[in-house]
Chains A and B, each alone.
Chain A
Amino acid sequence: MDFLRPASWEEALAAKAEHPTAVPIAGGTDVMVEINFDHRRPEYLLDLNRIGELSEWEVGQESVRLGASVPYSSIMEHLRTELPGLALASHTVASPQIRNRGGVGGNLGTASPAGDAHPALLAADCEVEAESVRGTRLIPIDAFYTGVKRNALEPDELIRAVHIKKADGPQQYSKVGTRNAMVIAVCAFGIALHPGTRTVRTGIGSAAPTPVRAKEAEEFLNAALEEGGFWENGKIITPAIAKQFAALASGACNPIDDVRGTAKYRRHAVGIMARRTLGWTWEQYRGAGRTLEGAA
């Protein structure tokens, strides 16, 4: 095993071009577990810790450019306004120690369906800035996840940043685990209201081979909200609409039975979370003042 320590982003790209099998390591929260438990012996480890810009973010007009290694604890602390869904998701990641090390780049690189950030990223809408010595490209999040623990990156590419749309409305995130902290998702659900475009986007984690959106549920809800004039009148969403939204969100799942939960339960739980998070975001949109402590 070789340990590559690029001092700059350009050096990192060059190293990745030279050794496409090199495994990038930043927070180490996935890679080191695999090494410690002898599940993986990469030929090269590519350390990204020395590249300071990966831990920085810029808040722009439309979006936040979030460095791939910005730790979850920073997202929770500093980006609650701009990225409320991701901030909530960040708070559910493992433990304080892990949140101090792990970042969104690792979740995207590993592309596990259980990665906590995915549903929030899908719901907020974002583009992944992937770069190689050949150049930079922005991969829409909808095209990023290509299979179980597979993504759209080329072997010579590294994730530099994620461009996430700034919240233009309420966002929520829920995750079911069998423990009240430090738990891998049995399933998770993210929702973002986009009043600007009068659309709702969603994301589902751990309930399909990849993170997915509940597109039918979104389309149904978009139409129902439009039809009822809800965006303007701010009325309470009828239980029938919420129920149908939840059912469609359940239907978007394609889960498996595993040690963490059954497929049937996952479908059920995603439906409950869809209904609840819709209720919370909509209440917030309507202006009812409930704040959350400890939730982000």
Chain B
Amino acid sequence: MTTRPEATTRPAAPAVPAGTPTKITQGSPTKGGIGESTLRPDGTLKVTGDFAYSSDMWHEDMLWGQTLRSTVAHAEIVSIDTSEALATPGVHAVLTYDDLPATMKNYGLEIQDTPVLAHGKVRHHGEPVALVAADHPETARRAAAKIKIEYRELPLITDEASATAPDAVLVHESRDDHHIGHVPHPNIVHRQPIIRGDADEAAGRADVIVKGEYTFGMQDQAFLGPESGLAVPSEDGGVELYVATQWLHSDLRQIAPVLGLPEEKVRMTLSGVGGAFGGREDISMQIHACLLALRTGKPVKIVYNRFESFFGHVHRHPAKLYYEHGATKDGKLTHMKCKIVLDGGAYASASPAVVGNASSLSVGPYKIEDVDIEAIALYTNNPPCGAMRGFGAVQACFAYEAQMDKLAAKLDLDPVEFRQLNAMEQGTLLPTGQPCDSPAPVAELLRRVKSRPLPPEQQWLAAGSEGTSIDVRALPGGLSNTTHGEGVVRGVGYAVGLKNVGFSEGFDDYSTARVRMEVINGEPVATVHTAMAEVGQGGVTVHAQIARTELGVSQVTIHPADTRVGSAGSTSASRQTYVTGGAVKNSCEAVREKVLELGRTKFGTYHPAWATAELLLEGGKVVTDGGEVLADMADVLEDEAIDIELEWRHRPTEAFDLRTGQGNGHVQYSFAAHRAVVEVDTELGLVKVIELACAQDVGKALNPLSVLGQIQGGTLQGMGVAVMEEIIVDPETAKVRNPSFTDYLLPTILDTPTIPVDVLELADEHAPYGLRGVGEAPTLSSTPAVLAAIRNATGLELDRTPVRPEHLTRT
């Protein structure tokens, strides 16, 4: 029963279907190199419970930190009285704004507009106002509850109308950031128009024009590992911080100034990260834990519970999207006009970059020459919004794909054929004027999902010996037993999306890798050290594969990520395999050169090939490209260790022009298409997604198993926001009404459809190994595909997501 399976046994997982092979993939004769589905190096630790997540950290004598948050969304703080809390036995410190040690008291990803602790004013529900450190979490909670805060409530800014009214209260009364000069109102964080061609003139050529107004609800990343970490004061007056984040160096840049410490005195180590999806791009408890640790001289641990987590990180921007498209009778798109209004909430977070994405990707993967685009993000008193998987492209995709279906219906064309007719290709100019200079198989991806056979009908019926039986688990409503087939109608819908990879708009988007080669116990071993945040995506797996391929070793050690090595950039924007993978490859190449140089010095005289042949490192040996072994790496290296740290950059990008939006702003594009098959109980408005088939171009699958995991995971997050996931903010109070997993619903395994995946590998010659960032594209098209399928089943317009039962029942 308990026999261990052979290491070589592969699961019954579907193999990656053969795509078009890439031209520039390097073969990997060393086992465990790129292109193989090697298993996670942290897998064993994660299945035994031994992997140390940030909330698992423990230190002798440690204290527990607790955050007191505002109970109102917009108010002046009249007074704060901490005396009773401080007098509570077991309490070691109570901190407010007045206790902040440095002149810098704000932080922020791009704009430092977020107070570490509220100063005189709170701008959203759940804003941190005070901190407590105590010897037990309950002591800290009770003490926090004893802090008396008097608020004087201010008028609420909750939407575009209230934000831009002539007499609107300013969410930030004195802005001096670099966007203030070009925004039409101080309650607008950033505005990015894109004008290309003449949309008004082109509209004259249209035989049909379709207009739509769409609403995208506020989605939460809902990573399972709550915000948490441990700060340990060090003897030199600095602090060691163990934390779960997406970007150590970005955190560091924001933490050190408010602690009044030089960056070298804040030493950060990545703890186990329980998912991220954009929600850990911003600071949460990092600074608070450090402040308490420095104040008390003791290690301080902070762990948010799920309720607090909903206030502890930014969410996906809810959006209003106004679209107009035109097309000729023969199905060619003439023009597009749109306005995208993103609600950024009380603080800027990543809003400016989300605006850039939303506007530059608002056209989707289609050829439209005449466009008039505007995207803005608002400052409001709603919860702050920022990065989440898909980053501005998700909201746009929901809207433009709804438009495509409306146009196809109006033209009486098949929705897939209509899309294919207008699909962008390699060479197509995007609305920013940037040419797409790598494969763009949009029509092919659509063809693949469409050609897949449909799942069988009425899968809830099973013929048994005593007649037909019904399995409610296969029906809308599931275990709740709401239908035995009554009212159930099937629908099918399609969508395709376009996402950028990497940081755009001229950002210096580099990564750093340190690679060390040495001989241990007679074997060459490579150590890869980067600051890349492994958040579950499998970057550590891929780095080891790259090192094996490039250095011909089988043993690779992945060093823990920390700030003792240069920045790796963020684990976001689908960029880590590309950028940090590229950095690891680059450093490995440099190490390889050093190995060969050493070999030439030591053994060059023994064989002419050292000087004349193309040399490779394979299977622990130096070999010629003809396969002749020249030396063991162990003999080349002996006691010497080669240790190289290098930065690596992808092609530079440029900022978008602030008036026209023109500019080569993006590094790379990523494409995915979905077909959704749903069954809707049309009387009760309950939806069961039966299948969500995806086709995606990944350039080159460095680890096919991980690629599938990314695509299936992203697909399900897209489905979540189609049918159930939404943070509901009361428009009267700007308070969050459902900050819990009881009322913010994530799909369970019983809600999840089968997710067959078709992977294409069309190399992008500009990227390492031809790879394309994978993680986000599937999150885009999944949502509109599900909505399209529900529209198909119900005949309803459905201009908002997520849909709720009451939207589907004409009640």
Partners in one complex: yes
Contact with B along A158-196 (1 / 0, CB 8 A): 000000000000001111111111111010000000000
Which of A172, A176, A179, A272 has its CB near the most chain B CB atoms (within 10 A)? Answer: A179
Q: Of all chain B residues, which has the CB nearest A33?
A: B742
Closest to B487 in A: A272
**Chain A interface (Cβ < 8 Å from any Cβ of B):** 36-38, 88, 91-92, 172-184, 186, 259-262, 264-265, 267-269, 272-273, 276, 279-280, 289-295
Residue of A whose beta carbon sits closest to that of B467: A289
Which listed residue, A92, A259, A264, touches B811 by the CB 8 Å rule? A264
CA distance A186 to B477 in the complex (A): 12
Contact B806 A264 (CB under 8 A): yes
**A149–B462 alpha-carbon span in the complex (Å):** 41
Nearest-Cβ distance from residue B786 to partner chain A, whole angstroms: 14
Contact of A92 among B480, B742, B743 (CB under 8 A): B480
Q: Which of B468, B484, B684 contacts A272 (CB 8 A)?
A: B684
- Number of B residues, CB within 8 Å of A: 48
- Complex interface: chain B residues within 8 A of A289 (CB): 466-467
B482–A176 contact, CB under 8 A?
yes
B728 on interface, CB distance cutoff 8 Å = yes
Which residues of B have CB within 8 Å of A37?
A: 305, 307, 740
Which of A36, A264, A279, A295 is the most central at the interface, judged by chain B CB atoms within 10 Å of its CB? Answer: A295
Bound: A7/B750 CA distance, A: 40
Task: List residues of chain B with CB within 8 A of the CB of A173.
Answer: 481
A76–B349 alpha-carbon span in the complex (Å): 49
Which residues of chain A come closer than 8 Å to B683, judged between CB atoms?
272
Cα A202 to Cα B455 in complex, Å, equals 38
Q: How far is the CB of A115 from chain B (nearest CB, A)?
A: 14
Which chain B residue has the least Cβ–Cβ distance from A92? B480
Contact flag A179-B806 (CB < 8 Å), given A38-B141, A280-B484, A294-B471? no
Whether the pair A180, B809 counts as a contact (CB closer than 8 A) is no
Shortest beta-carbon distance from B751 to chain A in Å: 5
Instruction: Determine whether the beta carbon of A181 is less than 8 Å from that of B478.
Output: yes
Complex interface: chain B residues within 8 A of A261 (CB): 804-806
> Which 3 pairs between the two chains have the least Cβ-Cβ distance?
A180-B478, A265-B806, A181-B750
- A36 CB to closest chain B CB (Å) equals 7
**B700 interfacial contact with A, CB 8 Å:** no
Chain B residues in 8 Å Cβ range of A178: 686, 723-724, 745, 804-805
Which of B470, B481, B737 contacts A174 (CB under 8 A)?
B481
Chain A residues near B470 (CB-CB < 8 A): 290-293, 295
Would you call B481 and A92 a contact (CB within 8 A)?
Answer: yes
Q: In the complex, what's the smallest C-beta–C-beta distance from A55 to chain B, in angstroms? A: 23
Complex Cα distance, B460 from A199, in Å, reads 32
Task: Please name all residues of chain A whose beta carbon is closer than 8 Å to the beta carbon of B482 when the two chains form the complex.
Answer: 174-176, 273, 276
- Contacts A91-B479, A173-B481, A176-B477 aside, 5 further interface pairs with beta carbons under 8 A come to A178-B745, A183-B745, A261-B806, A273-B482, A292-B469
- The interface residues of chain A lying within 8 Å CB-to-CB of B723 are 178
Q: List 6 A-B contacts (CB under 8 A).
A: A177-B480, A265-B806, A272-B684, A289-B467, A291-B464, A294-B472
Within 8 A of A (CB), among B762-811: 804-806, 809, 811
Taking each of A36, A180, A260, which has the highest tally of chain B beta carbons within 10 Å of its own beta carbon?
A: A180
Closest to B741 in A: A182
Contacts of B487 in A (CB 8 A): 272
Task: Find out whether the CB atom of A179 lies under 8 angstroms from the CB atom of B748.
Answer: yes
Give 1 or 0 for each of B479-499: 1 = CB within 8 Å of chain A CB: 111111011000000000000
8 Å CB interface, B102-157 against A: 141, 145
Contact, CB under 8 Å: A175 / B141: no
Partner of A179, one of B145, B483, B684, B724: B724
B445 to chain A, nearest CB (A): 29
The answer on a CB contact under 8 Å between B745 and A290 is no
Q: Which residue of the partner chain, among B466, B479, B751, contacts A291 with CB atoms under 8 Å?
A: B466
Across the interface, name the chain B residue whose C-beta is closest to A186. Answer: B805
Question: Is the beta-carbon distance between B479 and A181 smaller than 8 angstroms?
Answer: yes
B738 within 8 A of A: yes
* Complex CA–CA separation, A293 to B479 (angstroms): 10
Contact in complex: A179, B751 (CB < 8 Å): yes
Q: How far is the CB of B145 from chain A (nearest CB, A)?
A: 8
The smallest beta-carbon distance between B61 and chain A, in angstroms, is 25
Is A260 within 8 A of B467, CB to CB? Answer: no
A176 touches B811 (CB 8 A): no
Q: Are A294 and B743 interface neighbours, CB within 8 A?
A: no
* Nearest residue, chain A, Cβ from B683: A272
Chain B residues within 8 Å of A295, by CB: 470, 472, 479, 481
Q: Give the shortest distance, in Å, between A35 (CB) and chain B (any CB).
A: 10
